[in-house]
Chain A
């Protein structure tokens, strides 16, 4: 069924009885050309682009829970292309371009809103760093505007410009940055893949990867064995466990990142804003809730919940930056499990097993990467060659020293 405004109106007139499920619920077949482990944003977009760009439709996506129930449903929905390093810059630029055409492409409203992202700076040194980053963004063909203090005040008059501890010197505005509706991104890709013939199989946990003489043959699952010519591991949050089934030890340590949402409020924060002196960022959802978060809890964790010290830190940072939010009531907090890599950048690559591919290590930047990650993973699996915008996301870069350390914080997983 194709969605349209007319369809919404006619269904509304006739009791909304004509809507059908957005995707099928097939039983797994005995064999597929491609099996994708993981029905999150990246796995679903990989399936979608395999079908759409490469005509590979004999594909199954295996999800141990329900579609979009992992990190794609647990993030803070920021979409941006403000990276600095060659390797990252062109990848996220490509992803943002895909975002801009995504709703028409998927025939699905993902509520992509380019409301502008402002990263604040609070010292001369930070200003220099952001000016340099802005130039890198412009060189990449994206947009960046360096705002001074008064420029920031025009956009964000509600910030505390009087406080002296972390004075606001200005901000880097990325006008095409913004946010989207996270669940809708998963659902839109799921529906798009399903319509092209991909089998989306839920409640199907992979328990083993079958390998013969260095070649992948399929997977063992809680719903039986499934043979496959190619298998993709796209399970950020559980990458180390699934990769271990293929005898791999990954450059990943898992960490919990908390996020928070308040009760619904009238429109008050029109941008995505980040504080440069404490890891705090905030936006307002279309429902009106203030969605905000901060840093990792900093210790390795698979618990999808955090501890109180980071809650306190995030609230303090928010109150320091914009005291007006102090009366809002926090409704919920939750945690997502991040694949933290030693350089803060992801992996889209082949593995030592022929036919087995790996997409992981998204740190806490995976949401905005969903379109390009799927696009490049599908390209790699279909052609055997890395896509040109993802060619530096190699698994062996840690061994060879070709790191993509965007923050320059060194080989400690939780510092990125």
Chain B
């Protein structure tokens, strides 16, 4: 598996650290109801198919990446910078 980092180009999977589903981008407010925190920390759609998840380019540009990927075929269809997405 290889990921194409928007800054560094196509790189080996070993340069990246996988964190989890994009749910981690939707952090609740500190005082949000406990159900919101349960949803954020634990519950996942976990699709067998296209998913979006977070990878960190640990051995490269140190950017967080939002990767669109198929969990059945391992095909990667998009990589974007989390920093640009939020901007």
Contacts and interface: CB of A to CB of B under 8 A. Distances in A.
Interface of A: 238, 240-241, 249-254, 298-303, 307, 309, 342, 398-399, 411-414
B71 A300 contact: yes
Q: Please tell me the size bucket of the interface on B.
A: 20 to 34
B46 to A, nearest CB: 4
A301 B46 contact: no
A249 B71 contact: no
Contacts of A250: 43-44, 46
Contacts of A300: 18, 20-21, 46, 51, 53, 71
Contacts of A309: 12-14
17 contacts: A240-B44, A240-B46, A240-B48, A249-B44, A251-B44, A252-B46, A254-B48, A298-B18, A299-B55, A300-B20, A300-B53, A302-B48, A302-B71, A303-B72, A307-B1, A398-B41, A412-B20
Contacts of A303: 71-74
The binding surface of chain B is classed by DSSP as mixed
A240 B43 CA distance: 10
A249 B43 contact: yes
B72 A399 contact: no
Nearest to B14: A309
Contacts of B73: 303
Contacts of A254: 46, 48, 71
Contact of B21 (A241, A253, A302, A411): A253
Contacts of B12: 309
A152 to B, nearest CB: 32
B35 interface: yes
Given A300-B46, A307-B74, A414 B18 contact: yes
Contacts of A398: 38, 41-43
Nearest to A249: B43
B48 to A, nearest CB: 4
Contacts of A299: 1, 18, 53, 55, 69
B44 to A, nearest CB: 5
B45 interface: yes
